[in-house]
Amino acid sequence: MEPTRPSSKPAKAFAPTPLDNSVRLGLFGGTFDPPHVGHLLAASDAFEALELDRLVFVPNAIQPLKTDGSGASAPDRLEMVRRLCHDDPRFSVDSIEVDRGGLSFTVDTLREYRRREPNAALFLLVGEDVLGSLPSWREISVVMELAQLAVLTRHAAKTGVDQGRRVWTRHIDVSSTEVRARVRAGWSINGFVPDQVAGYIAERGLYREARGTKQEARDE
Ligand code: ATP
């Protein structure tokens, strides 16, 4: 089998900026309800392709464009993302949006990161499916000034980064929706999420009932 990883170090991603020698920090936001191996491997590919120094998972409190009620509470999602990252030194988890509560606007998070890390090169990682909704994000022009957008694009053969804003990631056909549906159907989620996340879902009895029923009532 041919290796899918590049044999030599890729060129620094994206056009050089005045910040090019500073810390390269990736922010990966999402609902992570629950986090799964697709998130983990996409993060891993992005970490390498963008030559990040750190990649921070940022679970949202309430996603402004997904307000239909979440399966798991924000503290549960936060804990699952912590377990996803485990003790991987490349990754960390920031509770900034969960702590802030309410609707999570990326621009608020980026402003805080710019304040905390004025010299960092910030990369905002978003999935390709999120692209269409970008025009409706709050203060999108400020978002684009504060961070470089890196679009995670699933591809069967490529990894690395192109000249624009795309980061090629391996194609892992799994979604949180599917994981929730499998739990609800009583099917195994072995391999879909890391063991420590599966253990937490089982312990807490998450996703056993459809959204908006007893599970949500219990979390209130
Ligand atoms: P849902 O099925 O509930 O919509 P999801 O699996 O897409 O959830 P999110 O928390 O919405 O998970 O995803 C966070 C980010 O991770 C998004 O930018 C999304 O595009 C990206 N993402 C989700 N699944 C994958 C995957 N299998 N491979 C790469 N990126 C993914």
Mean pLDDT of the chain, nearest integer: 85
- Under 8 Å between Cβ of 26 and 117: no
- What CATH number is given to the structural domain containing 158? 3.40.50.620
- Under 8 Å between Cβ of 59 and 30: yes
Res. 215 pLDDT band, cuts 50 70 90: very low
Q: Tens digit of pLDDT for each residue in 2-54? A: 334 444 444 455 544 444 568 999 999 999 999 999 999 999 999 999 999 99
Residue nearest to atom 21 of ligand 1 (CA): 127
Q: What distance in angstroms lies between residue 103's CA and the mean position of ligand 1's atoms?
A: 18
> Has residue 57 got a pLDDT over 60?
yes
Laid out side by side, the sheet with 160-161 consists of: 91-93, 54-59, 24-30, 121-127, 148-155, 166-170, 160-161
Q: Is the CB of 32 under 6 A from ligand 1?
A: yes
Give the chain's domain count: 1
Q: How confident is the model at residue 4, as a pLDDT?
A: 40
1 domain-assigned = no
71 domain-assigned = yes
Q: How confident is the model at residue 9, as a pLDDT?
A: 45
4 domain-assigned = no
Q: Which domain holds residue 27?
A: 19-204
12 domain-assigned = no
171 domain-assigned = yes
Q: Is the CB of 64 under 6 A from ligand 1?
A: no
- Under 8 Å between Cβ of 22 and 120: yes
> Has residue 173 got a pLDDT over 60?
yes
